[in-house]
Structures are given as structure tokens and as C-alpha cells.
């Protein structure tokens, strides 16, 4: 499987503005994950969906962050009132989850956010 697809690939915004990113999972994948990766670090989990249900949110996901997957297909991640500390690569991954098997996640190319 190739990975999920994401857009935009790059986003530059001014502090205080809102931004929205989109992730399209691999076809028929029922799980969709969002991670954030800062420079020199491994990705950190933010949240995930199974179909349209958001099943877990990390403490990293402040009130300014919201994610949706309204029809169980693509997902959006919105950041309101961006701060410079939000600058990072935002990664999306998808998987076809089946009980009692390993959940292999396939990542998209990421959206690089720069907050000025």
C-alpha cells in the first residue's frame, strides 16, 4: 500500500490565524490517525478515528485543535488562533483495522506548517 494523501503540503500563516489541513486515507481504510512531528523528533500521536468516530485524543491536542471525519472517509484537522509553537509537520496515517491483528499504519507525506 502507498500512503494516505494530504494537502496542502506546505502552509505558512501568521500567528493568530486559523488553518485547516485535509487527509484522504487509502481507499477502504477504516482508521485514520493524526500525528505531529517537530524538528529532530519522532512523530507524536494527536488523535485517531475509526470510521467517523473519534476514539482518542492526546493531551497534546489543546482546545484550539479540532479534528473531524464526518463521513468516515477524509478527515480535517483545524488549528484556531495559531501560535508559533504550532509550527511542525502534521502527519496523517490510515489503516485497515481488524480485531486481533496488527494495525499497520501507512503515512501520508505530511503538511508542513510554519507560523510566523
Partner 1 sequence: TQLLEQSPQFLSIQEGENLTVYCNSSSVFSSLQWYRQEPGEGPVLLVTVVTGGEVKKLKRLTFQFGDARKDSSLHITAAQPGDTGLYLCAGGGGNEKLTFGTGTRLTIIP
Task: State the cell numbers at 58.
Answer: 492526546
Q: With contacts defined by CB under 8 A, name the span among 13-21, 60-68, 73-81, 95-103 that binds partner 1.
A: 95-103
Task: State the cell numbers at 22.
Answer: 485535509
Judge if the upstream peptide bond of residue 8 is cis by omega within 30 degrees of 0.
Answer: yes
Task: Please report whether residue 25 would count as binding partner 1 according to CB under 8 A.
Answer: no
Task: Please report whether residue 38 would count as binding partner 1 according to CB under 8 A.
Answer: no
- Buried residues in 47-60 as b, exposed as e (16+ CB within 10 A): bbbeeeeeeeeeee
Q: Which of 41, 51, 62, 114 binds partner 1 (CB under 8 A)?
A: 41
Torsion of CA 22, 75, 91, 61, to 10 degrees: 110
Task: Please report whether residue 8 would count as binding partner 1 according to CB under 8 A.
Answer: no
Contact 23, 111 (CB under 8 A): no
Task: Please report whether residue 40 would count as binding partner 1 according to CB under 8 A.
Answer: yes
Q: Which of 12, 83, 103, 116 binds partner 1 (CB under 8 A)?
A: 103
Q: Which of 43, 49, 67, 86 binds partner 1 (CB under 8 A)?
A: 43
Could you list the residues that contact partner 1 (CB under 8 A)?
A: 3, 6, 33, 35, 40-45, 48, 55-56, 58, 91, 93, 97, 99, 102-110, 112
Amino acid at each position: 500500500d502507498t500512503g494516505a494523501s494530504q494537502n496542502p503540503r506546505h502552509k505558512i500563516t501568521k500567528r493568530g490565524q486559523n488553518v485547516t489541513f485535509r487527509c484522504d486515507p487509502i481507499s477502504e481504510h477504516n482508521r485514520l490517525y493524526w500525528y505531529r512531528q517537530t524538528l529532530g523528533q519522532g512523530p507524536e500521536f494527536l488523535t485517531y478515528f475509526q470510521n467517523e468516530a473519534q476514539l482518542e485524543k492526546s493531551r497534546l491536542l489543546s482546545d484550539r485543535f479540532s479534528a473531524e471525519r464526518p463521513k468516515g472517509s477524509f478527515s480535517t484537522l483545524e488549528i484556531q488562533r495559531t501560535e508559533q509553537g504550532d509550527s511542525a509537520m502534521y502527519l496523517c496515517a490510515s489503516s485497515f483495522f481488524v480485531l486481533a491483528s496488527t494495525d499497520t499504519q501507512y503515512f501520508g507525506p505530511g503538511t508542513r506548517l510554519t507560523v510566523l
